[in-house]
Structure 1
Amino acid sequence: MLERVPAMISLRTVAGIAYTNQRIHNYIGVGQEELRGRGWLKYIHPEDQERVLANQAHSTEEIQTMDHMYRLRGADGAYRWFRTIAEPYPSVDGKSYCWYGVATDIDELYRSRELLRERELQLNLLTENLPAVLFKAAPDGSIVYINQKGIEYSGRTVEDMQRKGWIDLLHPDDFEETSDHWNRLLTESLGYDTVNRFIGADGQIRWFHTSVAAYRDDSGKTLAFHGVMLDTTAQKAAELALQQSEQQMQRMMDTVPSMLWSVAPDGRAVFINEKARDYTGLTVDQIQDWGWIQVIHPEEREYVVQEFKKAFANGSCYGTEHRTRRADGIYRWHMSRGEPLRDEDGQIVQWFGLDIDIDERKRMEDHLRETRVKLARASRIATVAELSASIAHELNQPLAAVIANAQAARRWLSNRPPNLSEAMTSIERVLRGGSVADERMQYIRALFKQQPLRKKHAWPSKIIREAIRFVHEDAKRDEIPIDVQIPDDLPPIVVEQIQIQEVLINLISNGIEAMERNARPPHLIIRAAFVNESELLIEVIDNGPGLKDTQSIFDAFVTTKENGMGIGLAVSRSIVEAHGGQLWAENNPDHGAKFSVKLPCGAATSGPP
């Protein structure tokens, strides 16, 4: 029967192993004789031998049950865990005891238990060493576990938490909100995630990011609540410092006496300061999708959009001068500048810019320009008066002689009979006096001389647009349409900007005045282009009646106007020629006239202004 029992059975006496059944032999791979006495010991794992022998000696001395676990080597050389339980029974003669034992293979059970113990140890190490407070609460809210981090911070053990609770550790300002979250957790099993403050055992207040969730069984019944609390005091301090810095920066930007703005690389508006919001009456949302362009004056709107898109495409700096509509509908001149902000890789991450009110400066420039025009006009008038006096003085004697000799000739011819000899003499004297007058007139005509100019780089498009704007300031001329055909890529030229502007103002004004006497709808064209690498050509084309003489109109005191003095075109040609250029006029094939200005693109020179 012992040989057929499905267990490993042995009999031990004081002298050692006396019997082992076949199942033991099959496992170890040796016969019964090999295991008798102490022969079985060599099949026990070396680390377990001393413990097994001590256990056997103790059970022998105390005559008690022997129960121990050990590793036993099998026939394949591998060790497996076994548990042997042996009960003592008296021998037949009653003088000694025998132990009948059963060895059970518990290798899988033992290894599973060890694995579980290892996992529990690792979990305990994890929970106790995490830089966070971990806790577990029963369904009624009582704390049943808190890790060492929580004990150290609060100064309370689990027993203290169950006796005193934890609600008094909350900061008074967070008490109501956190209590509401906790009550909903207990009544509705709804987890929560919040940031609150707790008072530590040292009296210090620290911020925690607290997350609590319900743990349920398969039926949905709440078994416990698990929570984690991360100390976010440093992050909260940094956040508060950042908020304060942002608020300070916001206040600073809002108090800057200019309009500040920023846009994303895709053109989406990100920020405008209070000055910009107050001036335009628009919010950040209202200026999205190019909504800001609505406050730009219609005459500069297309130009501003082109410059803005060009800067975005090239990643270059942005700069324009334009009129911006105020919230009350009034337009004021502003200078707009923008710069791209790039990351370490050179990629644009944002654009920052500002708009500065330059309306007063513009008005002063216009006033100065108008004053210059008036001074120039007054100077021309004074020059004409001076020239008139000079002409009168220079021609007084020859003309007086001409008149006297002419009268004498008439008297000689009126005699009966006429004195032809004396009359011829008087006529010869008239001719000599006229010749003298003509020579003096030729001398007076030499009015204009070229002088050195102080030149500098200037943008042709800016010169032309400034001239147009000045002409349009005149209420009588602001409705005349002007077709401006200027390429975007015109480089700067070296000129005296104000003088060239005066030339263009004169040509534009002449064209507009010429079209006023015309039945056709007025249409003025201004073109600019480089004819070669060293010369710029500017054309002012009108659809007026045209010119009778395209050459003499540039002579001093020659005019086609009813009240003109004949000085403007002469002065204009003198200015252009002083720049080393040319000014000429020609009639269009159909109707109207074209004035052309050709300017060289040379280097800047210094000389008297």
Structure 2
Amino acid sequence: MSRKWTKSRTRGCKLHLTKTKARFGRVRQIRADLERQLEACKRETANVRERLIEATKQQTATSEMLRIISDSPLQSVLDAVAEHAARLCDSNNAEIYRLENNLLRLVASYGELPVHIQAREGFPANRDRVIGRAVCDRRSVHVHDLAAEDSEYPSGSSDAKRQGHRTTLGTPLLRERTPIGVILFRRWEVRPFSDNQIALLETFAEQAVIAIENVRLFEAEKQRTLALGHANRNLRESEAKYRSAIDGIAGLVAIMAPNGELETVNRQIIEYFGRSQEELTTWETSDAVHPKDLPRILELFKRSIAAGAPFHYELRLRRFDGEYRWFENRGVPIRDESGLIVRWFILLVDIEDRTRALEQMQQMQSDFAHMNRVSMMGELAASLSHEITQPIAAAHINACAALNFLGKQPPDLSEARQALGCIVRDSDRARDIVGRIREQIKKTPPRKERFDLNAAINEVIVLARSATIRNGVSVQTRLAEGLLPVHGDRVQLQQVFLNLILNAVEAMGSVEAGARELSISTEQDHTGVVVAVRDSGLGIDPHHLERVFEAFYTTKSNGTGMGLSICRSIIEAHGGRLWAEANEPRGAVFQFTVPGVGKEHRLHAQGREAC
């Protein structure tokens, strides 16, 4: 039993030993597996650490690039891009080219390789070089050995053989898929760039584009800012010159917007009104314009602004001390190249003194005209006395006849009635002659009215009849029928006509041979009425046709030289004109025009608005 137990125990030990050995084998296998896994983990950790270091370096480089991009001028940015890219990707050289007018010009470089002599002048952006191919294809171009690519890159391969570089990478600079340049990387030996390096270089290319674009925008903004500053300075200088210019104008100047709103005024306006520019913007409702002128001025102003037409009228403006003075107001629109009104230029000129002087001159002219009429009546005194005594004598005869007819038995009432009728007509005729003489002699202010010019001319012919008969002058009239009425001062126009008749009669008085004929005509034309007085006298020297209207010029021994000058003033005051011409075959013709009622009424209605 002891032997059996011993054998059994021995077998048990052997079995246990076998199992233990098996367990040790498994442990060693597990340990080997764990050691292998540990080595793999170490290698992976090393790779991760390496990638992390590389990523950190890239991130640091990228952060540095972003800092440079944000704070540096373009050249510094480009130089930094070239340097960082060359160092991070272990490149012997990095160059940045800008695309301008289909030429690639070198703008930044870093590294050991010499710069190509033509690089700064520019390479053609074609497919003969790596940089041109990258621009043309809009992608990175990676050549492992450029010196061996004679057929593919003839110009680039020639450069590589001459300068000694081999592996080359060109990465385009793209702005919205449009090439603006390229970055070129080169190595002395044949050592291709890894995919990570190419990706990194493409990232640097994107950053370079951002830098270039930012700087371009910054430079553009800087130039705009400089231009704006320059424009503002010019504007301030222009405004100062403009202000000096309008302040130097002898008058009140205002600049208005296209709609008529007041924009600016010159110093003279402020001083005249004694008000600020803001206060003057409400001139339509203030007392700046005389109340009697304001409605008319507002209507004319609004009409001109709406039509965009220049305006010219006269009005009274209130001075700072309360006195109203007459001003001439002219406004013209200022247009741009397209014809649109950009503003209005308003000029107000004080004409108060001129108006008063004009009124005095008109009074003097009226006085001279009165003196001229009195003078003419003096010349006609003898003839006019005959004209008056003739109807008086006829009335006396008819009165005697009427007494005789009434003294008959029975009284001849029919004949007496006829004789009394003749007395009435003769007395009316004498009264009319005396009335016309009184009108010509008495001093009255000018009075405009509508009247028949033909009838007024016939009245003057009657006044001058004795003078024409005494000088043997035959009078012929051709007065147009249906003549439109004229608007003017009847007495003044009759004075002009009488002056012309008496001058013509006197001019023919010295003619010994030939008929003495006076022709008087009227006719209607598009401007009004034309009156002509033709004589058959000696005529006027052609060189003196205008001089005869000059004041104090006369060819008469006892003349004053004022008659025709006064006549021209009267006609011009009526809106017409008076002139002289040679008459054919001899003599002279004096003609004057008087505007028709329509035109004269418009002028009268406009009053001080007339230009």
The structure with more strand, counted as a fraction of residues: 1
Relative to the length of structure 2, the TM-score reads: 0.35
Higher normalized contact order (CA 8 Å, seq sep 6+, divided by chain length):
2
Relative to the length of structure 1, the TM-score reads: 0.35
The structure with more helix, counted as a fraction of residues: 2
